[in-house]
Amino acid sequence: MSLPSYVDLTKRLQELFSIGYNFGKVAISTQNSASEAVEFNANGSQDIEDSSVTSDLLVKFNHLCSCVYKWSSNNNVSKEVTFQDILTPGLKLGGVFQYNLDSQVKNWNAQGQYKLANCTLDCSIDGEGESSSLFLNGSIVAGLRGFVTGCECKFDTGEGKMIASSLTCGYLDPGASYLLVRVDSRGLITGSYFQQVTPCLELGVVSMPNSEDGPKMDIATKFALSPQVLTLRGKVNNRSELGVGCDFQVVKGMTLSFSSAIDLKTFNSGSHKFGIGLAFAQ
């Protein structure tokens, strides 16, 4: 199995902390496919406090290449084109063009990825608005027998200097567990731990011992009481913030979710957030 890209090393942990939580919002999403080559995704949410509404629509075509068109309610439109394994196995080339209809600001991104048995290379070039500066991004992940190391850097051609970099090393068992430590150019250390305890139980921990706001630790878990029917979620941190969630499959293709964010320091003040989500999938 090939190694993930640098930004995806902790993808399952990020999903454990984010998916299923709609704090302070009423959200609805739908996924549909007209055929194997065409997919439609639509998402919308309303903030419970200020009643503001956000939404987006995504259409994906898969033929010789992958084309993704996206529109959001803040009048951002984008098009992404990706070619996978066309020139040689393991090589992916693509580009993204973004345009804001209100401000008329244009952003673009060109990217490439090459995967080998024990190594994954990524590079990209970003252009932002009318700026003449380009941002060059590069990363590499290499591993052997479960032990991995990777690094990334970002270079600003306008200023002529590297503006960000980081190094990650640890142990990775794809699909089951990983323990990674990351150090960035500011000296911030982040420890990440993910474990697929059983097919129904997942556990994740993120620790930042020297963050700017003091030591931080976050713990999250997900337990499927009945796979594809009822799933319980929870997360807590050392800032006394608790999040809980529940996903329930009403019928096949329709899932109802509830979530709540509770500040344990001010539990009696009632300053908690609740959310509800409804998801449809074909």
Query: Residue 137 pairs with which residues in a beta bridge?
Result: 124, 154
pLDDT tens for each residue of the chain, 282 residues long: 678 999 999 999 999 999 989 999 999 999 988 777 889 999 999 999 888 999 999 999 987 789 999 999 888 999 999 999 888 899 999 999 999 888 888 899 999 999 998 999 999 999 887 777 899 999 999 998 889 999 999 999 988 899 999 999 999 987 688 999 999 998 999 999 999 999 899 999 999 998 888 899 999 999 998 767 899 999 999 999 999 999 999 888 899 999 999 998 887 777 789 999 999 987
Q: By the 8 A CB rule, do 272 and 260 touch? A: yes
Q: How far apart are CA 217 and CA 221, in angstroms?
A: 14
Q: What is the pTM of this model?
A: 0.88
Residue found under tokens 């032990």: 147
Q: By the 8 A CB rule, do 149 and 166 touch? A: no
- Which residue segments constitute the domains of the chain, with CATH numbers given? 6-281 (2.40.160.10)
Neighbours of 67 (CB within 10 A): 14
State the DSSP code for 85. Answer: S
Query: Residue 254 pairs with which residues in a beta bridge?
Result: 251, 280
Residues 6+ apart with CB under 8 A from 145: none
Tokens of 98: 């973004």
